[in-house]
């Protein structure tokens, strides 16, 4: 059975006509039926088991700050489990990322499980690339819900076209980023795209696209796996803040400023 799923993970996904242009204009795209329900159940069980095993957040919800209430966060699961590695190295997903970004190939920045517990709070407005010491905008995240995700569960939502908006790029995820960006994005008339996700539907967004998510008002965890891709030719830039320095140390160890991020833990996932 696993072998069949591996085949599905590597089989090309036919992008709808105009998808790359839509992504590059709006900064995000949602794609239906990218992964089967059976595949998500199979790998989702393994991912969930590893998240529960590796999670270090055990404070009661009322004792957590805004960031801690947003989700349980476990990174680079691919290095912890062979089946998760199979999932993260999916050529199907990597090819979509390369086609959307318009580059010859993509390599892994890191993976990240984001589990919003029942009663978990909002994920404040932010842009991921605030945290990443990457030299260009050619990076993106695939957001893969492991279950159907209705609005009351807190699906990912986007400010369409905001990948070119420079206000707020210096704000970490916080109450401040939520308040200031909510106001600035509204004043800039960016369309707020907040929709449920069907099972098998995924989204891709640029590292600089502003996004957020609502609270989880259901009794079930919102289980999501993400994979962050970068242009295979991506160079490391000098860190602009302490978070980018921490990311360099953790996710690009041994990479040099101004050089391609070609390390043992940043393998090429897909090349055309």
Q: Does residue 69 surpass a pLDDT of 80?
A: no
Q: What is the pLDDT of residues 221-238, one digit of tens each?
A: 999 999 999 999 999 999
**What ranges do the domains of the chain cover?**
2-271
Tokens of 262: 């070609």
Q: What is the pLDDT of residues 240-270, one digit of tens each?
A: 999 999 999 999 999 999 999 999 999 999 9
In contact, 9 and 90? CB cutoff 8 Å:
yes
CATH ID of 2-271, from 2.60.120.620, 3.40.50.2300, 3.20.20.410, 2.60.40.420: 2.60.120.620
User: pLDDT at position 1, please?
Assistant: 46
E strand or H helix at 95: helix 91-101
Instruction: Give the span between the Cα atoms of 55 and 51, in whole angstroms.
Output: 6
Question: pLDDT class for 73, splitting at 50, 70, 90?
Answer: confident
Q: Does residue 61 surpass a pLDDT of 70?
A: no
User: pLDDT at position 4, please?
Assistant: 83
User: pLDDT at position 71, please?
Assistant: 63
- Calculate mean pLDDT across residues 123-130: 96
Strand partners, 157: 194, 212
As a whole number, the mean pLDDT across the chain is 94
- Calculate mean pLDDT across residues 11-26: 98
Nearest in space to 67 (alpha carbons), one of 219, 212, 242: 212
Q: What is the pLDDT of residues 94-112, one digit of tens each?
A: 999 999 999 999 999 999 9
Handedness of CA 47, 229, 156, 214 (dihedral sign): positive
Q: What is the pLDDT of residues 27-39, one digit of tens each?
A: 999 999 999 999 9
Question: pLDDT class for 57, splitting at 50, 70, 90?
Answer: low
At a CB cut-off of 8 Å and minimum separation 6, what does 170 contact?
130, 241
Instruction: Give the span between the Cα atoms of 106 and 139, in whole angstroms.
Output: 9
């Amino acid at each position: 059975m696993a072998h069949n799923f591996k085949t599905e993970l590597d089989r090309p996904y036919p992008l709808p006509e105009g998808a790359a242009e839509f992504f590059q204009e709006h900064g995000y795209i949602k794609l239906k039926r990218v992964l089967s329900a059976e595949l998500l159940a199979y790998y989702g069980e393994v991912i969930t088991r590893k998240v529960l095993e590796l999670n270090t957040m055990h404070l009661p919800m009322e004792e957590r700050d805004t960031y801690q209430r947003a989700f349980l966060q476990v990174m680079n699961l691919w290095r912890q489990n062979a089946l998760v590695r199979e999932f993260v190295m999916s050529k199907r997903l990597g090819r979509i990322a390369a086609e959307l970004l318009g580059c010859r190939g993509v390599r892994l920045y890191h993976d990240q499980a984001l589990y919003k517990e029942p009663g978990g709070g909002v994920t404040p407005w932010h842009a991921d690339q605030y945290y990443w010491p990457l030299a260009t905008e050619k990076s993106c995240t695939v957001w893969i819900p492991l279950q159907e995700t209705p609005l009351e569960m807190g699906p990912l939502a986007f400010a369409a076209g905001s990948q070119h908006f420079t206000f707020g790029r210096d704000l970490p995820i916080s109450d401040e980023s939520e308040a200031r960006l909510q106001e600035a994005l509204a004043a800039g008339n960016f369309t707020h795209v907040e929709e449920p996700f069907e099972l098998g539907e995924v989204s891709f967004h640029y590292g600089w696209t502003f996004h957020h998510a609502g609270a989880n008002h259901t009794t079930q965890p919102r289980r999501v796996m993400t994979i962050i891709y970068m242009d295979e030719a991506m160079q490391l830039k000098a860190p602009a803040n302490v978070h980018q320095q921490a990311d360099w140390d953790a996710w690009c160890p041994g990479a040099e400023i101004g050089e391609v991020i070609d390390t043992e833990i940043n393998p090429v996932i897909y090349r055309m």
